[in-house]
Amino acid sequence: MANYAMMSMLRYIDDRCLDTPVVLLYCVRTRNDIIFADDLREMRRRLQNFRMVLVLSQPDVAWNGARGRLSRDLIAAHVEDLRAATVFLCGPPPFMESVEEMLQSLDVEPESVKRERFGATATSGGMIATGAPPSQGRVEFSRSGKVCSVAPGQTLLEVAELHGVEIPFGCRQGRCGTCLTKLLDGDVAMDIEEGLASSDKAEGYILMCVARPCGHVKVDA
């Protein structure tokens, strides 16, 4: 399933002009459920090594693409050299569990699978499950005068981009420190803090590209 994290990775590849081959298997109910439809079309135009397979479980009569649900055969048919690939999974627990079983049957090593679940999950079998904050939050951009809802899993940088708030950024990985912004109120959870100096953290700065709000937050942007 494509979500904000998947789009962040595609934008990172585009920003750095990388030739990384990517196959996105995107499963939704109907055309109306496609998130980032325009962005994905643009990425297909810009990235020569990016392919997307869109699967609809409730397609309309005019749909001529893949139908049903993600299957073992569909994965095997569209992902070349699967054993050498790094697989990123994102979705609700039942979806994740089903796909993990498919990948196991295709001899994909567990360490090659990276996971981001919708909601909090426990780890099992030695596999690390990274979940987004379970509740939706809000962010107030103090200088821009905007208060925006934040969907589960969204980063503050992604929210800023969607609402026209200018935030400088670079890596989108929490490493370069370009998106450093002061947190004025509230709490955030950051996926990684490599680009955040201890002195900046002590002064209340956060990395917008990997920061997800825990409830209502206010930032200096």
Exposure b/e, 42-81, CB count within 10 A at least 16 = b: ebeeebeebebbbbbeebeeeeeebeeebeeebbeeebee
Residue 176 lies in domain: 137-219
Q: Could you say which of 106, 131, 156 is where a domain stops?
A: 131
The tokens for 78 are 């569209």
pLDDT of residue 50: 94
> What share of the chain in percent tops pLDDT 70?
88
Q: Could you say which of 97, 131, 165 is where a domain stops?
A: 131
Model confidence band, residue 135 (pLDDT cutoffs 50, 70, 90): very low
Co-location of 124 and 150 in the same domain: no
pLDDT of residue 174: 85
Model confidence band, residue 5 (pLDDT cutoffs 50, 70, 90): low
Co-location of 49 and 120 in the same domain: yes
Total of domains in the chain: 2
What pTM did the predictor assign? 0.53
Task: Show contacts of 14-22: CB within 8 Å, 24+ apart.
Answer: 14/43, 14/46, 14/47, 15/170, 15/172, 19/48, 19/49, 20/49, 21/49, 21/50, 22/47, 22/49, 22/50, 22/51
H/E element, 10: helix 4-15
